[in-house]
Structure 1
Amino acid sequence: MTDAEKTGSVQLQKTDSDTNKALQGATFDLYKADGSKLQTGLVTDANGQLVVNDLKPGNYYFLETSAPVGYNFDNTKQYDFTIDFNQQTIATVAATNAEKTHSVVLDKTDSDTNKPLSGATFSLYKKDGSLVKDKLTTDAKGQLSYDGLKPGDYYFLETSAPAGYNFDSTKQYAFTIDISDSTDPVVVSAQNAEKTGSVVLTKTDAKTNKTLAGAVFDLYKANGTKIQSGLTTNAKGQIVVANLKPGDYYFVETKAPAGYTLNAGKHYAFTITIGDQTAAASVAVKDTKKPIQTAWTTIHKELPHTGEQVFYFSAITATMLAISAAAAALALKRKREQ
């Protein structure tokens, strides 16, 4: 056999461009330098390799037609090589692929209302704790997004919450970017609960300011929804209600302390403000003692004018004298008959 008739071989090695991991499943076509296609559907094996034998001396190139799942490829890039005359060693071609990157979207909402929350700030980490990006902030839709993430495990940490909301700075919002050809972002949900406040109602005597135990109240939202009932003032004349979300509320007294007049139907309103409430809201309620009922007050209430009072007292006095005189006459008569 002459030198011109001797053939050679080529080996293509396919690897991950970042890790050098061998990539199985990449598919190539083989061409002569003049563009003539020689072979199609050549696929890398578990070692990331494909081998072509019996190639006559000359110039050739591979074109990649499909990449392993989750990897990008350039279908226009030519991987050139040459088969020399009297080739002693196999020709080698190196081809790399970069993993496809993906995106993540974090949705931040109110834990009670599901209202989107803007202004929450997060940092993004790989599973190993290395920082990817910090100061990521949710927008008016309560969302933040980040692109260019390679397959792997990640987590968000919240660094600040929207005004008036609690947050846990140690909680990890974990997610995984899978090896795939999908273009859909991974969605992570995170919620915040509004900070709560408290209220103190104090019940006192309207004249003496003495604190009054035993007054009973119901608590309502401003829209009329009853929240709690049967709240009773303690020995200090107080009712304390905690864990109230920001908003407007009111108390209604349902039972007054013994001996006091009930202020039925009256609303004792207060507001829990949004934000860091450092002091409890306060509500002051005063009760007036019921008037003492006596024979004199009963008669007095029945007498609308001063002149009439004199008349009635005169009449009562005359009646009492007449009764006394009649009793005395009856007693005298009985004595004589004996």
Structure 2
Amino acid sequence: MTIQETKAPTGYKINPELFIRQIKVDEATGSITTFNEIEVPEPRDTVYGNLTIYKTADDSKRGANTAKDVWFNVKSDDGVTDTYVVTTSKGLDGEVTLTNLPVYKASGEYVNYTIKELGYKNADGTYSVPDRYVPPVERTVTLKENVTLSFYFANRLQKTGLIVQKESEDGIVSGFYFSVKSDDGKTNKVLVTGEDGTAHLTNLAVYNTSNEKVKYTIDELGFKNADGTYYFPAKYVKPAAQTVTLEDGKSFVVTMKNLLKRGSVELLKTDGNGNPLEGIEFELYNTKTGIVNVINKNSSIMYEAADSKTADTVTKLVTDSDGRIIVNNLLPGDYYFIETDSKGNMPYAGKINFTISPDSLDTLDIQLTVKNNSVFIPETGGTGNNRPMYIEIGAAVLAFTILVGAIGLGIRKKKKSIGKKAQQ
């Protein structure tokens, strides 16, 4: 039997020796010992390659080439190369070439070159990449013999998105238009909210060419008319425009909330002669939601309507020494007062109705005067120009009572006289 090694362990030479063995019956298994010399690679001639760095920038333009004067460090993993180079202008881009770079190490393996962008050179000798760019990523490359390889580095402007989130007290959030303008004049867009109340704008620059953050102003336009103009509903308080700056990597959310306009009501309670009545108690109702919970601040005549019942809310409204009750923060709607305790005075028995409407100041702030034994007409707007009219009904009620009494007396007398005739 002939035995010869065909593959040596890594790093060793193949042993070319032939081993001849004869195997006999019932002979014990034998072994063969071989020796491998350490393989020493033959030194090879140094070969070279070339490397070109090609630089681009999103904001590079004629007369303002931002891809030139950009510094790079090129370093090899064998420690032979560690050099700094700077790009020169090539059209709107920049480039720099390094020549005669070794392709192989002494061991025969490829040399790895790491190319790192340093940015622009500062006056103090340090380097920096402007904040407006996405931070560059270094690259590790190998070269080819007698070939110039190009490697591209692009300065991408930091860009992100903007989301306008619409909220509204009455739940209406779709179909609202917004303008978005940047202070550098490069963005002037109009957005409209969808069914979910959001509007999206993408690809917005975070920085301007001066490396300052771009400011974006978002302003609500309202709904769109058929002629392309916009109108803002009178029932809302128009939200203030918002100015924001953005961050790279995540969309910025701007919340714009439409608050319904609030109104107020002032009630004056007087006696039949117009004198104010103190301590008269009322309750206030909304025709749709029921009794109105209020907060009485500092035990004054000023009440503020609350959104819900809490430990701080009350429902009893009491006139002050001037006979007044004032309730603020009332949402648009139909309301009425009920006089619940007249303190011995003649109460107003019916509902004292009024409406809060955002259509004008006259219908948003209401004034009412409730006079004993009088029918009232509400005064709106608080201007003092339209005074309430009163119809005195006390005398009429009294006259009606006397008349009914007289008729009753006559009937009784007639019955009585009829009875006397029957007795005769």
The TM-score normalised by the length of structure 2 is 0.45
Q: Aligned partners of 1:267, 1:287: CA distance in 2, in Å?
A: 14
Structure 1: which 5+ runs fail to align?
25-38, 62-78, 80-92, 292-296, 313-338
Match of 1:231 in 2: 317
Matched residue, 1:316: none
**Aligned pairs (5 A) from 1:168-247:** 169=240, 171-172=242-243, 174=244, 176-179=246-249, 185-204=251-270, 210-214=274-278, 215-222=280-287, 223-228=289-294, 229-234=315-320, 237-247=323-333
Which of 168, 171, 184 matches 1:130?
184
Question: Secondary structure of the equivalent of 1:305?
Answer: helix
Determine if contact 2:176/2:220 at 8 Å carries over to the other structure: no
User: 1:270 matched to which residue of 2?
Assistant: 354
Q: How many residues align?
A: 246
Question: C-alpha deviations, 1:77-113, integer Å up to 9, x for none?
Answer: xx5xxxxxxxxxxxxx654253474322111212x45
* TM-score (structure 1 length as normaliser): 0.54
Q: 1:224 to 1:307 in 2, by over 3 A?
A: closer
Shift of the 307–221 alpha-carbon distance from structure 1 to 2, 3 Å rule, reads closer
Shift of 1:246: 1.5
Change (3 A) 1:234 1:309: farther
Task: Flag the 1:170–1:149 CA change in 2: closer, same or farther, 3 A.
Answer: closer
Hey, what's the Cα distance between the residues in 2 that align with 1:97 and 1:290? Answer: 89
Structure 1 residue 56 corresponds to structure 2 residue 136: no
CA distance in 1, matches of 2:323, 2:191: 47
**Identity over the aligned pairs, expressed in percent?**
21
Per-residue deviation at 1:157? 3.8
1:98 and 1:193 mapped to 2: Cα distance? 41
Secondary structure of 1:169's aligned partner: coil
Aligned mates of 1:246, 1:43 — CA distance in 2: 69
**C-alpha RMSD of matched pairs (Å):** 4.6
116, 127, 152: which is aligned to 1:45? 116
Please say if residues 165 and 275 of structure 1, whose CA atoms lie closer than 8 Å, have aligned partners that are also in contact.
Answer: no
Aligned to 1:258: 344
Q: CA deviation at 1:115?
A: 4.4
* Contact kept in structure 1, 2:179 and 2:221, CA below 8 Å: yes
Task: Tell me the amino acid that sits aligned with residue 123 of structure 1.
Answer: V
Q: Distance in 2 between matches of 1:255 and 1:43?
A: 90
Higher relative contact order (CA 8 A, sep 6+): 1
- Displacement after TM superposition at 1:235 (Å): 5.6
Instruction: Name the aligned partner's letter for residue 189 of structure 1.
Output: T
C-alpha contact (below 8 Å) 2:338/2:351 kept by paired residues: yes
> Is residue 2:161 matched to residue 1:103?
yes
Which residue is 2:52 aligned to?
11
Give matches, 1:23-34, under 5 Å. none
Q: Which runs of 5+ in 2 are unaligned?
A: 1-45, 60-65, 74-109, 119-135, 208-212, 223-231, 295-314, 374-392, 396-400, 417-424
Q: 1:131 deviation in Å?
A: 4.5
